[in-house]
Structure 1
Amino acid sequence: MTATKGRRRVRKRLSIPLLLSAALLVYTTLSPSPTLIKESVAPMVPARVPESYATQVAVDDFDVHGVRQGSTEALNLRRFPGEGIVELDEPKRHNYSTDGEWVANAREGQLREETEVLVLNGDVRLQYDVENVQFLTERMIINMPKQAARSTASVRIWQGDNETVADQIYINLRAQVASLSGAVRTVYVPQS
């Protein structure tokens, strides 16, 4: 009897490793094959290269009678004629009227060549020199032929100690008229 018990113990010891080996064999044959990791899954896009590049640029624009309407300055300029745009770093736009000058500056801008629309982005500041009025927003669109500016982003307006915040603004730069829309809040400090 002792010899039979010893054989059963050996069979039990051998059966566990055999079961594990069989399970591993079945798993590896039935599991999906591993996929290779590719370096680039996204399609390659050709680099965006400007046709022309300039630094410290200033361009004046005139009406049909030769009167200077404004000027645009930039630290750097990149022109992409296929896209019809000019990208500007640290743009500064001057709009002249008979009564004064509007100056707008921002971190970056984009000039749409066909429509002559200048889109300013990032810390946009528009200032009217005669009244010392300042407008601050994150995005502003200036239509140069129409001498108009608008912002659909929140805008803050300062004049002296007075402050107004509006959801949107439209400014006729030629007539010096600003129209505020959306929620408008004003803090007025009377002069003593």
Structure 2
Amino acid sequence: MSQNDTGKKSRRGVRKRLSIPLLLSALLLVYSMLDSTPRLIVQSTTPAVSGRIADSYARSVSVNEFDESGVMRGSMSADTLRRFSGEGIVELDEPERHNYTDDGVWFASARTGLLREKTDVLLLSEEVRLQYDTENVQFFTESMIINIPKQAARSTSSVRIWQADNETVADQIYVNLSRQIATLSGDVRTVYVPQN
């Protein structure tokens, strides 16, 4: 074998070694141009929470609701809002809900909330407080459902009710927000402090 043949073989080896990465790079480039959603391999340093990506995200959100006559009947606000349109839900951080009636205002707040867009049902959880301003009565629970169209609220865990110095504890409560009627169910206990 001549020195010329050895030089040709080594150049072919170098060409093969260089052409394989070049060919792979070219294929990756063509694939990423043809695929409408190219996938890149990325190593994340933060753990994935749920893999869900919100369609919309907003901070310091406030929305007012009016009836046919233009009278404000409700409002809702939140520190942050994440909308998942494919699931039909909106996740809320620090949500607050006001229901305005002819006789007074109902106010609800919680650490977290979930609004079902189709039904306008608001699910509140963690440190839920429902308050009626006229009677200065407050309801505390860990989870509550507010049906906005029906103007009704229902606790899904035990509830503690404070009015003045009186305390009532019940397994559940149902509140008709438009008529200011609360119905307690399950084991109900009351501590009554007479006023002087």
Shorter-normalised TM-score: what interval? 0.7 to 0.9
Count of residues paired in the alignment: 149
**Alpha-carbon separation, structure 1, partners of 2:56 and 2:111:** 20
SS across alignment from 1:82: coil
Is structure 2 residue 110 aligned with structure 1 residue 106?
yes
Deviation at 1:45, TM superposition (A): 10
Alignment counterpart, residue 185 of structure 1, candidates 163, 185, 189? 189
Corresponding letter in the other structure for 1:69: R
Is structure 2 residue 93 aligned with structure 1 residue 94?
no
Instruction: Evaluate the alpha carbon distance shift between residue 168 and residue 66 of structure 1 in structure 2; reply closer, same or farther with a 3 A threshold.
Output: same
Describe how 1:1-192 pairs up with structure 2 within 5 A.
Answer: 47-192=51-196
**Alpha-carbon separation, structure 2, partners of 1:45 and 1:103:** 32
SS across alignment from 2:107: strand
CA RMSD of aligned residues (A): 1.5
Deviation at 1:80, TM superposition (A): 0.3
Instruction: Evaluate the alpha carbon distance shift between residue 79 and residue 160 of structure 1 in structure 2; reply closer, same or farther with a 3 A threshold.
Output: same
**Alpha-carbon separation, structure 2, partners of 1:139 and 1:178:** 16
Deviation at 1:69, TM superposition (A): 1.4
Structure 1 residues not aligned, in runs of 5+ = 1-43
Q: Which moved more, 1:56-65 or 1:106-115?
A: 56-65
Deviation at 1:60, TM superposition (A): 1.1
**Alpha-carbon separation, structure 2, partners of 1:45 and 1:109:** 18
Regions of 4+ moved over 3 Å: none
Corresponding letter in the other structure for 1:142: I
Corresponding letter in the other structure for 1:105: S
Structure 2 residues not aligned, in runs of 5+ = 1-47
Instruction: Evaluate the alpha carbon distance shift between residue 189 and residue 83 of structure 1 in structure 2; reply closer, same or farther with a 3 A threshold.
Output: same
Deviation at 1:64, TM superposition (A): 3.3
Partner residue in 1 for 2:30? none
- From the CA coordinates, give the structure whose radius of gyration is larger: 1
Deviation at 1:63, TM superposition (A): 2.5
**Alpha-carbon separation, structure 2, partners of 1:68 and 1:164:** 32
SS across alignment from 1:95: strand
Q: Which moved more, 1:44-53 or 1:132-141?
A: 44-53
